[in-house]
Structure 1
């Protein structure tokens, strides 16, 4: 899997989690994968076998540590056994836009 496919697949995997409201690149937009002609914000993935960082805004409702552990497990299904750093940048109430 190429770096482009990896970043996109990680983003899709994270966004599919019911507790994830959106991906978030952080206060200065630095948490992103820079790809030809675009960025995947909220995901930093260098390539296969490398550590991954994700930034998320979660919908409040469950245990945050459990959600973070679940996100790490889901990302590792895509990346293999690599370090996955999850930063929760904010939480929203269910129904908030």
Structure 2
């Protein structure tokens, strides 16, 4: 995955109002290694390959709706590839 693609995916996910943060998953495996840095919470092996995103969400909207919206946002960046959204945690408003 290129740095530009990883950054764009992270940006579109983080701008969703229900997303608190990106998350590396239970074992920290959801991340992209880039030259000199990592993008935690976004993983793919390359263009056209499936994308995995780990998120912490704020409770409010129904979670299946939020996950569907996040998949659509990621596909706007990546094209028609499988997108796996892992909800690692859910926080109450104000947390």
One fold, TM greater than 0.5?
A: yes
**1:13-59 deviation per Cα after TM superposition (whole angstroms, max 9, x unaligned):** 00000000100001221110000111100000232211100000000
CA RMSD of aligned residues (A): 1.0
Q: Please give the alpha-carbon distance, in whole angstroms, between the structure 1 residues aligned to 2:3 and 2:49.
A: 14
The 3-state SS of whatever aligns with 2:20 is strand
TM-score (norm 2): 0.96
Q: Where in structure 2 are the equivalents of 1:64-79 lying within 5 Å?
A: 64-79=63-78
Q: Please give the alpha-carbon distance, in whole angstroms, between the structure 2 residues aligned to 1:94 and 1:53.
A: 25
The 3-state SS of whatever aligns with 1:11 is helix
Residue 31 of structure 2 aligns with which residue?
A: 32
Consecutive unaligned residues in structure 1, runs of 5 or more: none
Q: Please give the alpha-carbon distance, in whole angstroms, between the structure 2 residues aligned to 1:46 and 1:9.
A: 16
TM-score (norm 1): 0.94
Q: Please give the alpha-carbon distance, in whole angstroms, between the structure 1 residues aligned to 2:40 and 2:86.
A: 13
Q: Please give the alpha-carbon distance, in whole angstroms, between the structure 2 residues aligned to 1:10 and 1:46.
A: 14
